[in-house]
């Protein structure tokens, strides 16, 4: 179980996925239309649910995990931020256990330490971070992206505002995006390492 949890830390970032019996990957058309019903594979659901159960068994919240793993806080600062709030910070991260997407679509997350779900601010900060980390998206042709904010009913990390960013490279096969996304990294602690 411990090795599964270690391998599955990023299952935490499967926020808001549909738990039903959808059998098809999310398409670019669904994402662009705003009619996105997030779905993940059966294996993704299993990993996610095991990870959340491990957090719950340790009496830890998803917000604590985000503070510690995405914002790099030690357990004391993360606990303080969960209770009192923290100065505003933003972080762009990969979503290695994200939604089940059709081939050629990639997903990032933009997290804020701000608990206020201001759509305009989340979209603006997402674009700023995309420009900072991936200037090619703005200077080269063929890239498309959509910033998506889950409705309240689909949010697993309700206490920290965040956006899902979907990207695709419509002009190149293979896509240039995987190479670009490797620029992003952060610490990934297993649930069993949170108490360390």
**What is the pLDDT, as a whole number, of residue 191?**
45
**What is the pLDDT, as a whole number, of residue 22?**
53
DSSP H helices, 85-166, are: 119-133, 136-139
**What is the pLDDT, as a whole number, of residue 194?**
45
**What is the pLDDT, as a whole number, of residue 183?**
87
Q: Could you tell me which of 73, 90, 95 has the C-alpha nearest to residue 129?
A: 90
Are 100 and 44 in contact by the 8 Å Cβ rule? The answer is yes
**What is the pLDDT, as a whole number, of residue 10?**
35
Q: How far apart are CA 165 and CA 184, in angstroms?
A: 14
Which pair of structure tokens corresponds to residue 30? 């669904």
Query: Could you state, in chain order, the average pLDDT of each consecutive group of 10 residues for the chain (196 residues)?
Result: 35 38 82 89 88 92 94 96 95 85 95 94 97 96 95 90 96 91 65 43
Q: How far apart are CA 190 and CA 28, in angstroms?
A: 32
**What is the pLDDT, as a whole number, of residue 97?**
66
Q: Could you tell me which of 49, 79, 76, 77 has the C-alpha nearest to residue 64?
A: 79
Q: Strand order of the sheet with strand 90-94? A: 90-94, 105-112, 162-169, 143-148
Q: How far apart are CA 41 and CA 159, in angstroms?
A: 26
């Amino acid at each position: 179980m411990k090795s599964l949890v270690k391998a599955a830390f990023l299952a935490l970032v499967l926020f808001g996925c549909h738990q039903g019996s959808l059998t098809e990957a999310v398409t670019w058309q669904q994402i662009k239309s705003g009619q996105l019903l997030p779905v993940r594979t059966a294996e993704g659901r299993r990993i996610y649910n095991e990870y959340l159960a491990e957090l719950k068994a340790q009496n830890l919240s998803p917000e604590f995990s985000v503070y510690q793993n995405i914002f790099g806080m030690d357990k004391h600062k993360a606990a303080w931020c969960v209770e009192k709030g923290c100065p505003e910070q933003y972080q762009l991260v990969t979503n290695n256990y994200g939604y089940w997407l059709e081939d050629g679509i990639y997903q990032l997350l933009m997290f804020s330490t701000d608990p206020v779900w201001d759509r305009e601010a989340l979209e603006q900060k997402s674009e700023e971070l995309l420009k900072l980390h991936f200037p090619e998206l703005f200077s080269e042709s063929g890239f498309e992206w959509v910033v998506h904010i889950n409705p309240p009913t689909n949010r697993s990390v309700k206490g920290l505002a965040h956006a899902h960013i979907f990207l695709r490279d419509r002009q190149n096969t293979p896509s240039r995006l995987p190479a670009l996304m490797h620029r992003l990294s952060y610490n990934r602690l297993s649930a069993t390492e949170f108490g360390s």
